[in-house]
Structure 1
């Protein structure tokens, strides 16, 4: 258990807090590219407790600005895109995507006020369907050469969803291999053809057994956790017989993402991004190693669960997570429907707005969470002391962070490590978009 002071140290993220200081050292997702499509490519955003406006101007340039107009504080998210920038409807002050004031129409002719005004702007980059911004001081770090950033647009799909809880408890579910056998247990298996784009529905590599059956019948994985240059690698093994073992390889990508297999063809890279202390968005990039992603299908699947424009879940705390007693008795372990996002939503939101870790009792199956918290505390301490924390990368360092490897398959029990590495290498080397040395 930890003290309330220690819990605050790793969860609170507003400006000036220890964890907030750390997270401002990294690029953070601030919007989906899809959110800036249509007639009015302007979106309000709240990130790490700061109110921002995200826009794409008439020339296609991206900008992230503080949301309050520097004149009288009006909301620039209601501004007009015109004349090369974003114009405040209150008095017509105009700003470009770098925050430079271009016009102050009501000022007298010859006024020099405009040249002295600058709205705070932030570095912004668009990658694989997500718009990232950097809220920290100094130069942003380089992006690692992850699969999700190396694949072409045709082979990636990005989406997000709102969670009404602290970012850390939302992230920790993704580095907990043990929960899947219970929280995501189904008493019946779907047909393989319905598995596309759905977590834990496809068959594992070198097996005709659906993942739902694996989780149901082999519910006590052995978990190995190894430190890496990017964070942690987690290997969960489930012996199925004397000569066959199910192995699942996942990763914690510091500071707040994980990389996991969706199927033998796809991986998920997912960030948990604080809106403020008590809410967050998950942002995910789905990466295909084989055929182009069916983006229309993937998007329609997820829009059955989330409402626009804020990507709020249709099923959540407000309607008891869809809980049904008969379903819990006969169909799913939770009784909360068939989508695992709803299961995760309940699990992390039920811990409270900010989980009270003074009351938890961790076990051996929580070794990934324990290892991550140690890395997190160390990185926060370094950031507060002005040192360089893990994954604040130079270009050369970033180029060396590749992959990372994920897999879900059934291995010969006497060669698990060799097996999963070879399966990952075969998939990676077979990708049409993979850069060759």
Structure 2
């Protein structure tokens, strides 16, 4: 049984909390590149209870600054993009993307005030359609050579969505292979040829059986976990009979991401980023190993379910996730439609703003969640001692962190490890871009 103090340690993200200090030492997704495609590329960002402004300057370079102007605290997210930076509309003070004060125009001639002013600025980089920022101390860790970061742009697609709950319970749904057989159960199987861009709607690799059928008819997976240099690997096995076995390999990337198979040809890397203690965004990079992704189709599919500019789900707790009891009896296990993100959203938001883990009773299938929590607490403790924690890596180590393999397939009379390792090699060998390495 978890204590209230342990739950607080893992979930609180303020700058003065142990967990918040740890998470600040990693690159965090803060925006999509798509959010800067309009005529005014300036966005307010709230990350772990702190307020920032992200902008793209006249030279196409991104910057991230504290949102409050250092003059009198006005909101810089309403600033004017001009003259090489972001200008505060209150008194015209101008800051470039590095936080340098370029002008204090209302000051008398000869004033040196501008030379003494500097706004807090933070490193920010673009990776596969997502802007990552570092708000911690010292040097940020290097980016691993994961597929989602090294694939050419035309093979990746990025999106995000708002969740009204703590980041940890949002992450933990992805460390739970057993829930898919229930939460994402469909009573009928769609044509798998119509599954593009939809998770759990196609067929597993090396099989014509729809994934929905596998999950529905074989609901008790044998789950194993293995620690890795990047976090952990989870393997869920479902015995289908006659020597056939469904193998699903997923990964937890410390501290806040999982990488999972979306289909036989595509994977999803998804981060869970605290806005504050009681809300978060998920950011996802979809990576194709076969054909270039249809970005327009995938974006249109998701915008049917999310409202801009905040990427707020149209189905949410205020409209009861469009729950339909007739649908629950006849079509889906939840009665909340066919999009699995809505199912996950209900599951994690229904636990409350911050799940009270002192009331939970974990089972055998929760072994991944238990292992991850131990990793998180160990990393918090290490950071408090001034030591490097998991995935605080330099460039040399980051270059060795590749893949990771994320497989959903069916093998016949073959050990599971042998199957998924071979399936990953075949997929890379046949890939236009992944085979180059």
TM-score, length-scaled by structure 1: 0.99
> Pairwise mapping of residues 245-256 of structure 1 onto structure 2 (< 5 A)?
245-256=245-256
Deviation at 1:413, TM superposition (A): 3.7
Give the corresponding residue for 1:6: 6
What residue in structure 1 maps to residue 321 of structure 2? Answer: 321
**Residue deviations 1:2-52, cap 9 Å, x none?**
111100000000102011011011000000000111100000000111100
Q: What is aligned with 2:303?
A: 303
Q: SS state of the match for residue 232, structure 1?
A: strand
CA distance in 1, matches of 2:99, 2:168: 32
| Alignment RMSD (CA, Å) | 0.7
Paired position in structure 1 for 2:70: 70
Q: Counterpart of 1:183?
A: 183
Q: Which runs of 5+ in 2 are unaligned?
A: none
CA shift at 1:434, angstroms? 2.2
* Equivalent residue number for residue 159 of structure 1: 159
C-alpha deviation, 1:132, in angstroms: 0.3
Decide whether the 8 Å contact of 2:428 with 2:435 is kept in 1: no
- 2:264 aligns with 264
User: What displacement does 1:301 show?
Assistant: 0.2
* Alpha-carbon distance between aligned partners in 2 of 1:167 and 1:429, rounded to the nearest angstrom: 36
Matched, 1:35 2:40: no
TM-score under structure 2 length normalisation: 0.99
Q: Distance between the aligned counterparts of 1:379 and 1:60, measured in 2?
A: 37
Question: 1: CA distance between counterparts of 2:309 and 2:384?
Answer: 36
Pairs within 5 Å for 1:119-198: 119-198=119-198
User: What residue ranges of structure 1 are gaps of 5+ in the alignment?
Assistant: none
Question: C-alpha distance in 1, partners of 2:64/2:419?
Answer: 45
Question: Distance in 2 between the 1:25 and 1:412 partners?
Answer: 44
Whether the 8 Å CA contact 1:181–1:216 is kept in 2: the answer is yes
CA distance in structure 2 between the partners assigned to 1:103 and 1:413 by the alignment: 71
Match of 2:390 in 1: 390
What is the deviation of 1:435?
5.7
> Given that residues 239 and 413 in structure 1 are in contact (C-alpha distance below 8 angstroms), is that contact kept between their aligned partners in structure 2?
no
Counterpart contact for 2:63–2:122, Cα < 8 Å:
yes
List per-residue Cα deviations over 1:211-249 (Å, max 9, x = no partner). 000000000000000000000100000000031010100
Where 2:241 maps in the other structure, the secondary structure is coil
Distance 2:236 2:298 in 1: 27
Aligned to 2:50: 50
- Deviation track 1:350-388 (CA, whole Å, cap 9, x = no partner) reads 000000000000010000000000000000111122110
Between the two proteins, the alignment pairs up a number of residues equal to 437
- Give the corresponding residue for 1:345: 345
* 1:98 equivalenced with 2:64 (yes/no): no
Q: Which SS does the other structure have where 1:68 is aligned?
A: coil
- Aligned in 2, Cα 1:435/1:24: closer, same or farther, shift over 3 Å? farther
Q: Deviations over 1:326-348 (max 9, x none)?
A: 00000000000110000000000
Query: Residue 155 of structure 2 contacts residue 289 of structure 2 at CA under 8 Å; is this kept in 1?
Result: yes
Separation in 2, partners of 1:433, 1:204: 22
Equivalence for 1:423: 423
Q: Identify the residue that residue 200 of structure 1 maps to in structure 2.
A: 200
Distance in 2 (CA, whole Å) between partners of 1:417 and 1:152 is 29
Deviations 1:384-424 (A, max 9, x none): 22110000110000000000001001112442221111111
